[in-house]
Structure 1
């Protein structure tokens, strides 16, 4: 199914989906099933689908959520391993776009630069740049941003001065395909999900891998295969087994997170007990004892104890300390110790981005999302016909992608039934909302980006919740016409909408 020549392709759509990763593909699949009479296109700046799962190429790259919840509600995960590597996830996404006839709607090599809302037409005028530098204009009634949460072009730079270090310096976001680390000494700086994935994978061929952390992270060991899921698949239809396993994992995740908030010491002891089971009762747990409670930051998943097996086998170790300088042949720490290295991997985190770094305007006036409140974790105050996906921090990303896609399909169906062109969550200036911390997480990448994040109110619906079970019920059961989301036609009513928008600014 090759692409048609660009000159013959449609330029106007009911919905323009930005990004062909999990969020964008999920929206397209929901539209195919629930509102097949609506037209859509997916624009993707890269040359392949998959988003995160195509971009990251570092050794061992895998999910840090189980695939029964990182998978979509409408497509069972059929692999034996529920903690999946990137190729298996890409295979899953490829199957979805092919079986649902979505691939021909994807335009690769199309990067969205800006989008301007025109009320008189009830359309977004979207400017794109193709991979060969050509500028294009597409229009759409709705803009659905599935562009992820981090900057694809630029990772977080902690400002290291590599001084006299003569070895290779690698960032996981731009891992070279031909990197040869066999028999070499490797230092991985960081203790998050990326570092915890890279260390045991590289340790299989490297001489030695050291995970150099400034602060320990809570680790959670679990099997890569879900025995319960695989048993159910043998005795029940695929979809039934998937639905049961998915709900089981959602509930366990929810219980675990809430227990960490109410009984952090007990949860910490439980996590340590699992480490001691593999490493022995006399194992020093200091490198795995953070100065914060479990789930103050996201837990790091260790499937099949792979990190601990690498440490046990002498192929890897974990060092806690601060870097004093990069010297010839390695890294000097502030305590004076020296760690030899041929390769340094800076797994120091991502740089968050909002709305895919797209310049958003309404009638030419700039939109600052940091001044808008979330509406149902999906839309923004006084911003028409635009939806976004920002997944859960305490659960799988796809859980939010699914409920947001389903909700927007409901809104679009209601708009069509009522002859409406515009849907806008109206927040009057007179309504003084009490603000809440958008993310009650201490992770560095979260804290660094709070100034660019949209606002969060204490009370629903003006917030981005972190409780999937409650969100799912509300998004499906609450009426679209809730007295806040204003549905209206363009033209005379559009002018009225714009006046209300201006009044609410």
Structure 2
């Protein structure tokens, strides 16, 4: 759409791949189907919809090479600060480049740096953890030499990472206990869907790939809508499904009775039911309790029970960080992100010529990032038509916009990060994004000039 534009991609790490190159914990895999998590212009061709981290890294590398982007990406280039000059009408980026500092200038900056801190995980206060004489491992920084074979392991957490680790670690560990404060919904899905196989077998690639993509676009949205309008029915249905998958010695309550309705937080996936299968063995168990303190040899719980362990894995979540940790300044004034509203979920109030590509939290992240990139490209086209060099979101104070949470889930890691994330509004282009279909409509047919000032 803008073939005459020049661009450079600054990658902070030594290799591309992001999350999937950084995380090395056992069994790391996607928690979204790869058909929608993958790039729409490079359809995922494998039958397995839940892919390993290494498979995703390979897919990213292949896509970059096939699209001729290798020479556009500069690795080991981490943006330290971004300064906008209204006088010069451009950004000055201070970049750490291979242990030296470099300066880049840009007319428009698109931040595709994700939403979590790659250098630090979310580490809630765990009393006594410093006294533990065994090994403490965080999945984000998994020790390459960690030998957990024939060891007692406790995984603290109940999210996607913990659900992934339990069946993987239990293959060789003596025993693995998943210790959770509150349960999550866990949904069993097939690794290879039979209908996908049939479509690929009898239809040409261009047709089967489109049909499969639409299937994975529609089903999650339909699921979320049903959860929203019929929470009681869904909760009862999940209770019945989960109970049937559990061994007789593990009751549904309290281990699988979340405090929230399905859809209010991300649903954990268990490919081919691996999570439930390992609970049928003597090598895996689940405990729902609160930690009183960690001792040199284990964990004391508020219930009075104790867990003896050699290794503690703190699968306690991610620490949210926007803009890759870079300092953002406009005409020398630092921008406090939490004071700003997000225009259509992608540009910050009063921050010119910059977008933040945030994906979805309830479905594939890439869907949301990709459609926001399309929105910004459309906006750049409008700028050219108007002969404008600068576009800035400005909030009209007479609108009476009321603040809301930008990310639409109630997860703990989102709540503790409210001071480092922008706000959504309750009306106009400041309203929180509703979903992929609404965003697509906005990009294709919507007015992308509301609440913007062009110069």
Which deviations, in whole Å up to 9, do the C-alpha atoms of 1:211-246 show, x marking residues without a partner? Answer: 000111111111122222222122223233222222
5 Å matches for 1:85-164? 85-132=52-99, 134-160=100-126, 161-164=128-131
Task: Show the counterpart of 1:369.
Answer: 337
Q: Which segment drifts farther, 39-48 or 154-163? A: 154-163
Which secondary structure state, in structure 1, belongs to the residue aligned with residue 84 of structure 2? strand
Which deviations, in whole Å up to 9, do the C-alpha atoms of 1:367-425 show, x marking residues without a partner? Answer: 12212211111212222110111211221101111111112222223333443211222
5 Å matches for 1:408-487? 408-480=376-448, 482-487=449-454
Task: Show the counterpart of 1:332.
Answer: 300
Task: Show the counterpart of 2:353.
Answer: 385
- Measured after TM superposition, the shift of residue 450 of structure 1 is 1.4
Task: Show the counterpart of 2:51.
Answer: 84
Alpha-carbon distance in 1 for matches of 2:358, 2:431: 12
CA distance 1:440–1:106, change in 2 (3 Å): closer
- Measured after TM superposition, the shift of residue 452 of structure 1 is 2.0
Task: Show the counterpart of 1:189.
Answer: 156
Alpha-carbon distance in 2 for matches of 1:405, 1:440: 20
Mapped contact 1:168–1:343 kept (Cα < 8 A) = yes
Task: Show the counterpart of 2:309.
Answer: 341
Task: Show the counterpart of 1:241.
Answer: 208
* Unaligned runs of at least 5 residues, structure 2: none
Alpha-carbon distance in 1 for matches of 2:250, 2:75: 50
CA distance 1:184–1:424, change in 2 (3 Å): same
Mapped contact 1:384–1:422 kept (Cα < 8 A) = yes
Task: Show the counterpart of 2:135.
Answer: 168
- Measured after TM superposition, the shift of residue 96 of structure 1 is 1.1
Alpha-carbon distance in 1 for matches of 2:53, 2:443: 30
Alpha-carbon distance in 2 for matches of 1:195, 1:334: 21
Is it true that 1:292 corresponds to 2:263 in the alignment?
A: no
Which deviations, in whole Å up to 9, do the C-alpha atoms of 1:243-296 show, x marking residues without a partner? Answer: 222222222111111211221121122223332333367851111111221122
Is it true that 1:251 corresponds to 2:218 in the alignment?
A: yes
Alpha-carbon distance in 2 for matches of 1:282, 1:334: 22
| Corresponding pairs, count | 453
Alpha-carbon distance in 2 for matches of 1:450, 1:81: 36
- Measured after TM superposition, the shift of residue 164 of structure 1 is 3.8
Provide the aligned C-alpha RMSD in A: 1.7
Which secondary structure state, in structure 1, belongs to the residue aligned with residue 83 of structure 2? strand
Alpha-carbon distance in 2 for matches of 1:215, 1:416: 52
Is it true that 1:407 corresponds to 2:358 in the alignment?
A: no
Which secondary structure state, in structure 2, belongs to the residue aligned with residue 361 of structure 1? strand
Alpha-carbon distance in 2 for matches of 1:228, 1:460: 41
Which secondary structure state, in structure 2, belongs to the residue aligned with residue 91 of structure 1? helix
Task: Show the counterpart of 2:362.
Answer: 394
Alpha-carbon distance in 2 for matches of 1:280, 1:332: 26
Which deviations, in whole Å up to 9, do the C-alpha atoms of 1:181-232 show, x marking residues without a partner? Answer: 1111110000011111111111111111100001111111111222222221
Which deviations, in whole Å up to 9, do the C-alpha atoms of 1:83-103 show, x marking residues without a partner? Answer: 111111111111111011111
Alpha-carbon distance in 2 for matches of 1:330, 1:163: 12
Could you list the runs of 4 or more consecutive aligned residues of structure 1 that deviate by over 6 angstroms after TM superposition?
Answer: none
